Each structure stands twice: as C-alpha cells, then as structure tokens.
Structure 1
C-alpha cells in the first residue's frame, strides 16, 4: 500500500472510509504524509458509527451508544488498498477500511464482515460463488423546483422521453460516460456494457462477473460513489434511489451468480438448459429467504414505491427460466455459464448486505437440499403467488423474525438494523414527499 503513495506523489490527502449499515461511507480525511500510520496501526471510530440512521444520527436505545459508553472499535485497511477519487478536484486517494473490536475480532455490525462470514462458509464447503451486478441509475437535473433530465452537453437540449437501448441517449452524455469508464479503470472496477434504460434519463451499467465476490461487492459500493461524485462534477445528479420519479420506472440492482466446486466446475451446469439439482436447491433457498430479506432488497421508505405490478420490479415469490417478470430468472445461453439472476433488489441497497443475503440463502438451500416449487411460465403479475412484503414496516417485521435471516446474519447486526429502520420509519412520517426526494436523491 505504501508503494501506491510513493508512485502517486501528487496525492496530498487521504479519505479512509467504511460502509455503514445503510451503505453510507463513514470516515476521516487525513494528510497523505500520515497515511503510513493508518496502514500499519489502523484508526479508531466508535462502534456506533457503523449503525447510524440515514441522517447520520445515533440510534436511540442502541446497545452500542450510552449503554456501553459509546466504545471505540479499530478499523484497518481492506485488501483493496488505496484508490484514486477522480470526482474530486485535488488529487485524493480513498482507503477502504473495515471495523474490528478491540480484541481483534471482526465487528459483527460491519456489513462487509457479514458478507465475509458468508463467503467463509462457501470456502469451508469447497465452493466459490461467481458474481456480477447490474446497476440502474438516473441522471437528474435537480437545480430547479422539479427534477428533470439534464441538458445534453452535446445538443444543449433535454431528451424529451425514454429511449430504451438508444445510442443517441448514451452519446448525448458521452463526456460523462467517458470519464466514468476512465474512473472505473483507475479504481479497478470492471465496468462493462452501458445502455439507456426505460426511464427518462435512466441508464444501466453492468459490472463483470468475478470469482471474488467481495471484490464485486466493493466494486458495486465504489461504483455508486464514483457515479454520484462524477455526476456532480459534470453539473447534475446521478441517483440510485429506487423511485425518483413517480411516473417512471424504478432503479433495480440485479445480481447474477453461479457457484464453482473445488475443481472449478459450475455446479449449476448439467450440460443443458434445465440446470442441476444444486441450482434448484439454491433457488429454493433464495425463495425461502426472500420475504425475510426484503428489508435488505428494499431498505428505505422510497424503496416500496418501486414495487408495483407490471413495472419490471418483482412482487411475487417465484422463479422461472428466461422470464423477467419472475423474482428469480434462470437466463438461457451456454450451459457452462448457467446461473441465477436475482431481480428483487433496488438500486438503493447496501451491496454487502444484499449479496450476503442472496449468497447465504443460496448456500442454505444447497446444504439443506431444499426443493423449490415448479418454475412459473407467463406473466408473474397475473398469477396467484406468495407476495413479498409491500410496506417498509412489514419488511422490518419479516426481517426481525425470519429463521432464514438468523441463519445468515449475526444477532447483533439483525437487532441493530431493526432499531435503525424503526427509527427512520418514525421520523420519515414527518417528511413531505419533496423532503423524502431531497434526502434520498444522491444519498443512497
């Protein structure tokens, strides 16, 4: 890590940051000349910093605050090392960190450690998940009273409507996307295809699959940070908010994954389109955990505005082959790449918690040899299916009492997140729709 700083003498300041339960970056600014101490000795935050609400406030009645004297934890660099922050004017580096207790044990309230624990279970079973993510976001001019699509730097005009898979929509913001891909390369984020989506000023970028699931979670967190930062540098907002426009499509975050055995074989591949028993066991695990996981797939008040029938956001618990109305889709194509696409989550998720929930549920299904219901055919919105929680409070309750969630996450994290979301729920009721939009627009 010190070599990176020596090779980049233009960097004068460092940000050290960890992801809290809401996926917010919490950290410090440090002169670069003192960075060596952080690398060797770490830094300290109160444990409670990983468990703040969306406004950055302490959680009332949290066992991490007054009850335990608001004690410190130790934060050490992750394996990611230093990364440039191209959205800032001055040359600056980000050093991702994660939290441990004073005795050296991972802090169970850190979402990155929650994913690490799930991945350790895969390793112990001789398995390796291969993961990719697809992120949707809106580019928004929020300089006036009402939000709208930004003016194109090329034409000086606003795009009048949605334009799915239109090159002209991408070309209208070519400078932004060029800077975004350059930023991804500099930060070692493997960004692949970009497309224009169904919403007004909506786009999607795919992050390439990798057999290091933690890197993909890091990439997803960092990509959101990069995209939001660069958009402001270009004079507009980029929003991963689940539903910024009432009458436009919501932002999703689809996750694709397969699983390799110790010899590197895809355990979902049976040589044909159907897939193996292991694939069906993984699907069954994901379906069983889906209602309890909803708080992680839809973590905010606005998240539930996206979950409406017929809007390409799943509302029923089901799976299908090559069917985008289902909550779990098995894509067609080369059997060697047979995989599961989990389609429930919104763009406003914490990627560490979301991926831990999906991968933990899939492993649970594989280990317990769970059997899924028959795959659906046709339009899922017209079928009589078990329904996902459709309100924030119902999702909080389901998460708190889910046996499947208790097998994936430590009790302390579950309790902390429930306290956080109940506090947010309480104070959110005081906000107008305009204030909710302002809160979430380029926060989540």
Structure 2
C-alpha cells in the first residue's frame, strides 16, 4: 500500500511520471471518446435506443449541472489526508458503471441516469486530479508537457476511433448495434485500466490538510478581482459555445448525412482534428511559454468564434469540406492552443488555493454551459437548427471581446507581436 501513500517527488522521477501520465491520459480519453455524449458511437447507440433531439439537449443540461459536485470534491481534497485514495474511490465506480451499456439496451431515461451518475463521480474526482498534477509538475514545464501530452493522447484516440469506425463500417446493418456496444465496452475497460495504472505508478506529493469552513473557502476566490474577471470571461464563452454544442454531432450525422458512413464521419471529425493538433501542438506550447497565454487565447478564440459560420453554410454536398475545416481549425487553435493556454492561466493560482479556485471557476463556467444548452434545446425546437448557429455566432462575438480584459501576473506580448513572432518562426522553418 506504499504506492498509495503521499511522498515527495524527486526531479529525476519526472520522465517516468510523464510517461505514465501520457499513457493513462490516452486510455482515459479513449474511454471518454467512446461512451460520452460527444462520441459518434454514443450517438449511434442512443438513437438506436430511442433518443430524440430533445433528449440530447436534456442530457447536456444535466451533464453540465453535475459539475456543481466539484465544490464538494475540492473541500474533501483539502481536508482528506490521502488524495490518491480519495481519487481512486471516486473515479473507479464512475468508470465501471458504464459497463451497463454493454449488457443491455437502456431506455433514453436509463442512458441519461447512467451518464449523470458517472459524471457526478467524475466531477468529484477532477479537482483532486488537477491539484495532484499541479503539485508534481513544475510550472516551467507545464506548457510544453501539456502540448506533448495532447498530441500523443490524440494519436491514441485517433487510432482507437478509426479502428472502431472501421468495425462499424464493415459490420452488416443488423449487427452494427452489437459492434457499437462492444466498442463502448472496450472503451470502458480502458477507462478502468487508466484509473488503476494512474493510482499505482504516479506518486502524489504530501499536502497539509486544511480545515477551513467550506463556505469561507467558497468566498475566497470571489474576493479576488482578477479571478472574478477570469470567471466572467470563461462563463460567457462557455454559455456561447453551449448554445450550439448539443446540436452539432446529431446535425453532422443526420442533417449532413455523414452518419451513413462511419469512416467518412471519423475522417471528418477525428482525423482532421488530429492533423490540426499535430500542426499546432509544438508551436502553440512554445508560443504560450514565450509570448504569454493571453495573446494565444485572443487569437484562438477569435477563430473559434467563427466556427458557427462553417456549420451554417454546410450542406450534404460540401459537408466533408466545411465540417472538416471546422475540426482542423479546432485542432490547431482549440485543442493545441486555447486549452493549453488556459492550463498556463490556472498555473498562476497559488498552490494552497488552486483546487478551490479551479472548482469555483469550473462550476461557474459549466453552469453557464447548462443554461446555454437549455437555451439551445428551446431555440432549435422553435426556430430550427440553422438559426441556432447564428445565435451561437452572436453570443461568441460578444464573449470574445471580454478576453481583452483578461489579467495575468506574467508579462504578455500583444497579439500583433505574437503573430509576428509566430510568423517569423514559420518563415525560417524553426519551431520558435
């Protein structure tokens, strides 16, 4: 049981820890990309079990609300002596419950119940994992490491998704549901193995228990003016993206008819996104470390704000090009750019308050996403899916301008300087 006890992490251990972090991260992401509601396999399974559009909107709303449980987790993490045991106790049953998909065809309400229960436990575990990660990974290494992790994890997810899509494509029509359930079963197995290996091979540094009152802890982040700005900016953006989020994959598979061929579907939404991550991961990580997170966030979110236009002008004839361009851009500027930059922003939080700050930030943004998903479900019923994309475009344009108010402790280049620096690196063939 020594592997589960807190201990100091030596600098020489970091390469081995990075290896296990990346390997288990790939397994965890394969799990998520097969059984969660943003997976084409899940959409196929859910529709075969009777899911309608309103079920996707309702599911998204409840899934977002489960993030409220992160507040409970952050208090447990700060008062509980052993973070690794706490994380294992929370996340393992949250993964294992998805085996229910494999053994039976659930009703729409049953699918929603399983996902909500799994997400409650996952959200209880997430702040513990992030506090654990930030404590063993030095701040000066996080940008490059997270970018490297993103691309390697993307390779694993890509290979798994392509293999699953090929199995779906090759199976007869009356056997596709069985194949889909096997794919999800393998994904759940990978998720459980991820938890076990993570707990065994990645040490957790010791942390002094904190016995402050939980209500007082909740107020601490809100007293920080800079943090309040972060929360407003991210909550506004999360609301804007959620106003079309639940509609995207059903729209791609049904309205644009890409669901008729799983290989084409996976090429469009997975392979091209992976290509984008490959094109951007190293330069984005180095750009963030050298120029700062703020200019990268501004560039990334400006392009991200334009994504609804690609959906609006898409039709079955140009779907591969329009949706492919969307996911290619998202690979470069969202997965490799914005996500990495926000990890750098979170790294500016003090270690003793980081878990609670991240939990409050996540709860605020996800509650905003829940409201956005609820608005999307109503709006698409009233005005149709194409008008939802215009709604999201308007909301994103408003939210984008709030990013200019983002405050950082570390020096930041301007957007113009960052673009020049980036372009100079591309022009001379260097990696910055």
Structures share a fold, TM > 0.5?
Answer: no
Higher helix share: 2
Higher strand share: 1
Query: What is the TM-score normalised by the length of structure 2?
Result: 0.29
Higher RCO structure, 1 or 2 (CA under 8 Å, sep 6+): 2
